[in-house]
Amino acid sequence: MSGVSDQSSYDFKKQLQENCHALVPGYGTSYGYVPSLAAGIVFCSLFGVSMILHMIQLVWKRQWWCIVFVLGCITELIGWGGRTWSAECPYNGNAFLMQISTLIIAPTFFTAGIYVLLGRFIHLLGPETSILSPKLYLWIFVTCDVVSLVVQAVGGGMASIEVNKINGNTAPGTHTMVAGIVFQLFSISIFVFFAADFVRRTLRMRVLQNMKGSIIPLLAAMVFSVICIYIRSIYRTIELSQGWTGYLITHEIYFVVLDGVMMVLAVGVFNIFHPGWLLPKNTPKPFHEPIYSPGATEMQ
């Protein structure tokens, strides 16, 4: 009888996942709650506005690498669209997979933009301001992001397969996802270290005042965006490490504030302080000339 009951329950859950049903007492959702419709609409609107502005700024200023911000907004928009769908159909499996896959990927586009932007700063201010070359930032950290996403995708696929089984074991898939996001947090932490060192060097060498157009607002925007992404990464690492029934993942307010709000701020700040407006066209000195020399300072 137990086997029949399990099969019946499984069939009913399968039906819920394949269709649109309101919340059924006694049957929890994949989220652990019903996503907020208001939050879904608000974030779809915010990312939609940011996307449109970035598209206009992209064409206007012809900083084509900034398309990564557009792609990130589109991905966030799809993800929050999935959560909005889930607000009306909380059991729908497609809506759940739609949001979880895209909202994990989206920040990667924003970090890619920051890697490029830091490279532009290094080109402008001189190689002495950075431990790594601009190209190395892009290749190393984008590669790390891709590896992390692949691992998370594999883990997510493993977990989703087990969820659809009777008494399926989601632990291996969850652990794989956690490994991927921990690796991502580690790589972002390394980048934060290098970025902080870049800021330290530029301040110590006093090179910013050599620029005709100040890049301080854009530099501050980059630092702010990195902090937002880093906060989000820490949150997602802790969230997934607690498992699918953990406290953080089953309370939407944390996701809204520590993922949604952080990502809106991370990309929205570049609508206000856009690289196309604030990146100077000149360099303070040719790249082969040292910007700062203690000996030269003493002679003066």
The model's pLDDT over 88-119, given as tens digits with 9 standing for 90+, comes to: 999 998 999 899 889 988 999 999 999 999 99
Residue 275 has a pLDDT of 92
Q: Kindly state the average pLDDT of the residues 170-199.
A: 88
Q: Which residues, 6 or more positions from 257, have their beta carbon under 8 angstroms from its beta carbon? A: none
Are 211 and 280 contacting, i.e. CB atoms less than 8 angstroms apart? yes
Q: Is residue 4 part of a domain?
A: no
Q: Is residue 22 part of a domain?
A: no
Residue 298 has a pLDDT of 40
Q: Is residue 7 part of a domain?
A: no
Q: Kindly state the average pLDDT of the residues 169-191.
A: 86
Count CB atoms within 10 A of the CB of residue 130: 22
What is the number of domains present in the chain?
Answer: 1
Q: Is residue 43 part of a domain?
A: yes
Q: Is residue 63 part of a domain?
A: yes
* Domain of residue 156, CATH code: 1.20.1070
pTM for the whole structure: 0.86
Domain around 280 = 32-284
Q: Is residue 124 part of a domain?
A: yes
Q: Is residue 27 part of a domain?
A: no
pLDDT band at 291 (very low <50, low <70, confident <90, very high): very low
Q: Is residue 274 part of a domain?
A: yes
Please write the tens of the pLDDT for every residue from 196-231: 999 888 888 877 766 655 688 999 999 999 999 999
Sign of CA dihedral 205, 211, 214, 215: negative
Read off φ and ψ for residue 282, nearest 5 degrees: -110, 165
